[in-house]
């Protein structure tokens, strides 16, 4: 039987999720291996070097750079507050002294008798990393972070914006056919992750964000409205760092498309539970998918399976990830052996796919398809 390996989009009711939580530079890990951690718990901390503030003492005092070292009030390594005197000229008969005041608080890191410059290093910037999901510390990365694992329901979307958020899952549509409008968003959405079974309007997103929703998971959304939210065109670079208080995850594609029934049903099954979400997306090499993780607190560990290369075969559920059928769901009905000539004139391996929405069969390049993994 013919089959082909294709990256999969995961919609899995129960699996062992493992996440790496790492500091941007070495610091201190504050938990131990085997310890149970909460999503909001700090697991590692460090300090980023403070900002550097240059001060031209020679210019401020109107003297030669070589004279600086003789008139210093503060020395290298001294703690200094904003407004403190760094250096002071002797003046004339003790009068008419000129003073150089510090423009910032910090540490006097360096003074040069060649350039007449002083360098003030502001206070270190504390940085911490949270666990992100409720789980168990599976491993420690010395001085850097941890691996946290949890048996969870795990869902990937096709595109997202906004970073890591946590909140209670709240399904606001009765099915996968109802468009979510502004009127459907109520003050009860504050702190929630809203599940929209179908298309989400821009106005509904803005109202939900204004009312304090931490995340929205929707079947479809207009691509043009992404720019209206973030203020610029989203390219092929990684998303997830946008300054938006509400993370948006699109599970199917752009436009008026419905959420896959198995995705909607799985989210509805866990309504009221706390989920962790992340809209970070990278479509090109090193694919990163937006994700919804719902830890199953009372579930036993699932058996870890070795990674296997498996692929499409007749009957495999897929999602189309390129135009003109972007976001549509379907089922592989045939995998022809022969290369097929595309409209562009190039030859490629294709799959015959029956699209669920239209019921028609189309030939599509296998590279334009993504499996839906649900086991």
Identify whether the C-beta of residue 55 lies closer than 8 Å to the C-beta of residue 120: yes
DSSP letters spanning 257-274: -PPPHHHHHHHHHTTTSE
* pLDDT-based confidence at residue 302 (cuts at 50, 70, 90): low
Lowest mean pLDDT among 48-52, 191-195, 269-273, 359-363: 359-363
Q: Averaged over 303-331, what is the pLDDT?
A: 69
Q: Indicate if the pLDDT at residue 186 is higher than 80.
A: yes
pLDDT of residue 115: 92
What domains lie within the chain, and their CATH numbers?
4-16+151-295 (3.50.30), 52-121 (2.40.50.100), 311-373 (2.30.30.30)
Which pTM does this prediction carry? 0.77
Q: Indicate if the pLDDT at residue 3 is higher than 50.
A: no
Q: What is the pLDDT of residues 189-230, one digit of tens each?
A: 999 999 999 999 999 999 999 999 999 999 999 989 999 999
Cα–Cα distance, 333 to 123 (Å, whole number) = 63
Buried b (16+ CB within 10 A) or exposed e, 53-62: bebebbebbe
% the chain with pLDDT above 90: 62
Q: What is the pLDDT of residues 321-334, one digit of tens each?
A: 777 777 677 889 88
Q: Averaged over 257-286, what is the pLDDT?
A: 89
């Amino acid at each position: 039987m013919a089959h082909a390996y294709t990256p999969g989009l995961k919609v899995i009711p129960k699996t062992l999720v493992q996440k790496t939580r790492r500091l941007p530079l070495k610091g201190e890990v504050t938990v131990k291996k085997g310890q149970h951690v909460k999503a909001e718990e700090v697991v590692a901390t460090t300090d980023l070097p403070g900002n550097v503030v240059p001060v031209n003492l020679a210019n401020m005092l109107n003297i030669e750079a070589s004279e600086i070292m003789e008139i210093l009030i503060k020395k290298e390594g001294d703690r200094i507050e904003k407004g403190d005197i760094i250096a002071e000229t002797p003046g004339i008969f003790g009068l008419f002294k000129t003073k150089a005041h510090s423009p910032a608080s910090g540490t006097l890191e360096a003074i040069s008798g060649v350039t007449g410059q002083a360098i003030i290093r502001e206070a270190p910037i504390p940085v911490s990393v949270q666990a992100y999901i409720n789980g168990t510390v599976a491993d420690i990365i010395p001085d850097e972070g941890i691996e946290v694992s949890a048996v969870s329901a795990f869902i990937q979307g096709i595109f997202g914006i906004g970073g890591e958020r946590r909140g209670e899952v709240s399904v606001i549509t009765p099915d996968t056919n109802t468009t979510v409008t502004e009127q459907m968003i109520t003050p009860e959405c504050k702190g929630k992750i809203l599940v929209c079974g179908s298309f989400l309007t821009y106005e509904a997103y803005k109202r939900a964000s204004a009312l304090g929703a931490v995340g929205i998971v929707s079947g479809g959304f207009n691509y043009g409205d992404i720019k209206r939210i973030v203020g610029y065109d989203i390219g092929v670079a990684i998303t997830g760092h946008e300054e938006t208080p509400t993370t948006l995850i699109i599970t199917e594609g752009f436009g008026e498309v419905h959420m896959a029934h198995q995705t909607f049903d799985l989210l509805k099954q866990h309504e009221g539970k706390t989920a962790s979400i992340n809209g970070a997306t990278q479509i090109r090499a090193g694919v990163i998918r937006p994700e919804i993780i719902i830890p199953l607190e009372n579930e036993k560990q699932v058996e870890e399976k070795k990674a296997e290369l498996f692929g499409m075969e007749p009957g495999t559920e897929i999602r189309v990830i390129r135009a003109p059928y972007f976001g549509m769901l379907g089922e592989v009905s045939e995998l022809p052996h022969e290369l097929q000539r595309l409209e562009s004139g190039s030859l490629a391996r294709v799959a015959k796919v029956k699209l669920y929405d239209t019921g028609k069969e189309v030939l599509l390049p296998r590279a334009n398809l993504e499996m839906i993994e649900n086991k």
